[in-house]
Amino acid sequence: MDASSSLHHRYIRNCTLVVFSKYAKVKILVAYWAHFINNTDEYLKYLLYSNTLCSSSTYNKCSGKIEIKYYIVPGYNLTGPAIRNGMNTGNIYPGFTRVNHGKYAVSDVRAHVGTSNLIWDYFYSTAGVSFGTYNPAIVGQLQDIFEADWNSPYAVPVGPLEDGLAYSS
């Protein structure tokens, strides 16, 4: 894992602590596509495991919850050049397609829409634009869009950690 991914993951982990301390329920929808970042699956499984840690401790008074799904567009793995070095690659879709690439966050009262991917290097090394609002009409529309994607047949729950991977000796 590179330094930028590590920074990004620490940020998400810190946000997770807030979720549990505020008793919030958070749904995260992650695009699964040809340019999926290494170690993301393992990291998301660790985030889900924090649900278990929260609920299993007799000392913690946390009751938040995190749910995570992948949004998998069929054919995501058949994207890119159709021909490379004179040979057919088997790809049938152009590169950087077959992905639900929305860049927004929505809560009960606020919406945030941006042009940057939610990873550290986009905020550090690129320019983008974003828009945040408390406008109930816009918030409601984004909530509806999110729920439609969340309940789509293309949205697949991230699986749990395999036995023995939650700790090291």
pLDDT of 12 above 70? no
- Is beta strand 65-72 parallel, antiparallel or unpaired with respect to 25-32? parallel
Residue 9, pLDDT score: 60
Rounded CA separation 80/91 (Å): 6
pLDDT of 3 above 50? no
Rounded CA separation 71/162 (Å): 21
Residue 52, pLDDT score: 80
- Per DSSP, the three-state class of 68 is strand
pLDDT digits (tens, 9 = 90+) for 79-132: 999 999 999 999 999 999 999 988 899 999 999 998 887 776 777 788 888 899
pLDDT digits (tens, 9 = 90+) for 37-72: 888 888 888 888 888 877 777 777 777 888 999 999
Rounded CA separation 13/17 (Å): 7
On whether the CB atoms of residues 128 and 116 are closer than 8 A, the answer is yes
